[in-house]
Amino acid sequence: METSSAGSRDVDSGWSWVILISVFLWNCLEASTINLVGVLYVEFLEYFQGGTIATSWIGFSWSISMVLLSPVGGYLKDRCSFDQLRVVLSVCLILQSIGVATAGYISRLTGAILLFGISGGAVVGLVGPGAISLLGVYFIKHAEWHLQFYFVVQPLLR
């Protein structure tokens, strides 16, 4: 972060824009991954040879684990410093990438439910509150404009 000549922090420039774009892109990728389950539903039915209810557990397990673990993510956000929060976010995103990439090689429906559904949704639930709260740390002067950009433009890209 840069400091002005008066000695006060000027957090509305430099890394702030990198954080805004990173959080924005992460949230778009998270939403597209959830939508990807619906797009690939017919392919999952054919590949796993499971019933419609059993196959729909992939998307359901993603959603329910995300919803159930979001309060835990909020608790972690409140208890961690922002340096610790960046480490937690990075580790969770690496784990999500490993889980989704490994799910591509699973030949059983239960493995896809566990790796893609539960682990993917759990990571999104843990990372979501912390990722959005980083915007409040890096933007002070123009926080309203940046949050409006994030919450208005991001759903349009889903």
Tens of pLDDT, residues 78-118: 888 777 877 777 787 787 778 777 877 888 888 888 887 88
DSSP label at residue 115 = I
Q: Give one word for 51, left, alpha or beta, with left for phi > 0 and alpha for psi -120 to 50.
A: beta
Residue 132 lies in a domain: yes
Identify the pLDDT of residue 125. 83
CA distance 90 to 110: 27
In our burial notation (b when 16+ CB lie closer than 10 A, e otherwise), range 23-49 reads: bbebbbebeebbeebeeeeeebbeebe
Task: Please count the residues of the chain.
Answer: 158
**pLDDT attached to residue 3:** 46
Domain that holds residue 121: 12-153
Task: Please report whether residue 94 resides in a domain.
Answer: yes
Domain membership of residue 97 (yes or no) is: yes
Q: What is the largest CA-CA distance in the chain?
A: 67
Handedness of CA 16, 77, 148, 139 (dihedral sign): negative
Q: Is residue 59 part of a domain?
A: yes
Domain assignment present for residue 6? The answer is no
Count: domains in the chain: 1
Q: What is the pLDDT of residue 128?
A: 79
Q: Has this prediction a pTM greater than 0.85?
A: no
35 within a domain of the structure (yes/no): yes
* Tokens matching residue 17: 């824009």
Confirm whether 17 is domain-assigned: yes
3-state secondary structure of 2: strand
- Tell me if 158 is assigned to some domain: no
| pLDDT-derived band at 155, boundaries 50, 70, 90 | low
Torsion, CA 117, CA 91, CA 138, CA 15, rounded to 10: -110
- pLDDT for position 87: 79
Alpha carbons 76 and 115: distance in angstroms, whole number: 23
